[in-house]
């Protein structure tokens, strides 16, 4: 059941705002201003590891996750250009994927739908059934992989493959499973015309960094068998980092929107703009004084 929350029309917004009543944040005039922004088809916004709890006062690692997400939402809505899409890459919920967590998350994230479609993936602190129950009107498309939330969509310069690495809720490692790997192989092979970009919550396991995708060797075999696969974009580690796999695959580690594990590392979101030959990824830190705020990392795609 792949989930994409489509951009809201003015009529839909007015209907939802009326239901929200005093809880509505965007006024009709602000909605109109946001919805009218010029769109850059080559730009995408990424959030990861939001960890939203039902109670907005909850903190973890000394951080109020709700306040952090609201800060990011305000900055994204104020951005001068609308992206092609916004992707929130897993660990949407605080810890156990409770229904109330998703209700709170959905209330905040809905504001972004004034700007662009919002794609959601799942991480190890999510729970599928609670998640699906929280978005009953939006989760309408049956998944190609039973009990996994996967999808593929095209943009101007790339084909996007959104994976589901959730294995067991509140257990660190993730797993794709053979049916999902077979689906990914077929879907990549069917689209050789553009760069393929993979979005997955968990990282690739390697020496010194485990707790990621348990079936990493099988996944890497698929990715390296198709040279049009250019980047693997992930979260989970709560760290902002860009590196390269041994065969030239770009590895983009998104920062957490919520809290960091290592003191001093940045939290925030990422603005990415793509070309035919690569991309640039800009960190937008919640702490504007952080040394890596507004840092831009440019990457080049491996050759076919």
Predicted structure pTM score: 0.94
Asked if 212 contacts 245 with a C-beta cutoff of 8 angstroms, the reply is no
Query: pLDDT at position 1, please?
Result: 43
Backbone angles phi, psi at 114, to 5 degrees: -70, -20
Give pLDDT, residue 143.
64
If you write DSSP's letter for every residue of 112-142 in order, what string do you get? GGGTS-EEEE--TT--HHHHHHH-TTT--SP
3-class DSSP state for residue 207? coil
What integer pLDDT is reported at residue 120 of this predicted model?
A: 95
pLDDT band at 281 (very low <50, low <70, confident <90, very high): very high
Q: How much is the average pLDDT of 282-288? A: 97
Q: pLDDT at residue 141 above 70?
A: no
**Dihedral, CA atoms, 261, 204, 167, 57, nearest 10 degrees?**
20
Domains along the chain with CATH numbers: 3-300 (3.60.21.10)
Share of the chain above pLDDT 90, in %: 78
Residue 23 — very low, low, confident or very high, per pLDDT cuts 50/70/90?
very low
Kindly tell me if the per-residue pLDDT of 18 is higher than 90. no
3-state DSSP: the chain helix, strand, coil percent, rounded to 5? Answer: 25, 25, 45
**Is the model's pLDDT at 17 over the cut of 70?**
no
pLDDT digits over 29-61, tens only? Answer: 778 888 889 999 999 999 999 999 999 999 999
Region of 51 (left: φ > 0; alpha: ψ -120 to 50; beta: rest) is left
Of the pLDDT bands very low, low, confident and very high (cuts 50, 70, 90), residue 80 is: very high
Query: What is the band of 2 on the pLDDT scale with cuts at 50, 70, 90?
Result: very low
Average pLDDT, the chain: 92
Tens of pLDDT, residue by residue over 83-128, are 999 999 999 999 999 999 999 999 999 889 999 999 999 999 999 9
What's the pLDDT tens digit per position in 212-238? 999 999 999 999 999 999 999 999 999
Nearest CA among 243, 236, 238, 242 for reference residue 286: 238
Q: How confident is the model at residue 20 (pLDDT cuts 50, 70, 90)?
A: low
CB 278 within 8 A of CB 197: no
Average pLDDT over residues 209-214: 90
């Amino acid at each position: 059941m792949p989930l994409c929350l489509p951009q809201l029309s003015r009529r839909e917004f007015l209907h939802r705002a009326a239901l929200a009543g005093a809880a509505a944040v965007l006024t009709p005039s602000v909605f109109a201003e946001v919805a009218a922004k010029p769109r850059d088809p080559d730009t995408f916004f990424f959030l990861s590891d939001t960890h939203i709890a039902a109670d907005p006062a909850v903190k973890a690692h000394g951080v109020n996750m709700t306040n952090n997400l609201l800060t990011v939402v305000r900055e994204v809505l104020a951005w001068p250009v609308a992206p092609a899409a916004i992707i929130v890459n897993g660990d949407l919920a605080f810890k156990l994927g409770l229904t109330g967590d998703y209700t709170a998350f959905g209330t905040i994230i809905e504001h972004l739908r004034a700007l662009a479609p919002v794609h959601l993936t799942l991480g190890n602190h999510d729970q599928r059934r609670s998640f699906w129950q929280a978005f009953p009107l939006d989760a309408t498309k049956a998944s190609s992989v039973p009990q996994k939330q996967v999808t593929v969509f095209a943009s101007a310069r790339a084909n996007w493959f959104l994976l589901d690495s959730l294995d067991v809720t509140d257990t660190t490692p993730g797993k794709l499973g053979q049916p999902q790997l077979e689906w990914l192989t077929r879907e990549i092979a069917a689209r050789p015309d553009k760069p393929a970009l993979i979005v997955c919550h968990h990282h690739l396991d390697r020496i010194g960094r485990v707790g990621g995708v348990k079936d990493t060797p099988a996944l890497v075999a698929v990715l390296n068998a198709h040279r049009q696969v250019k980047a693997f974009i992930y979260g989970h580690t709560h760290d902002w980092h860009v590196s390269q796999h041994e065969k030239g695959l770009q590895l983009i580690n998104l920062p957490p929107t919520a809290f960091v594990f290592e003191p001093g590392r940045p939290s925030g979101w990422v603005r990415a703009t793509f070309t035919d030959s690569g991309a640039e990824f800009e960190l937008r830190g919640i702490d504007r004084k952080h040394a890596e705020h507004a840092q831009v990392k440019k990457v080049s795609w491996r050759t076919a």
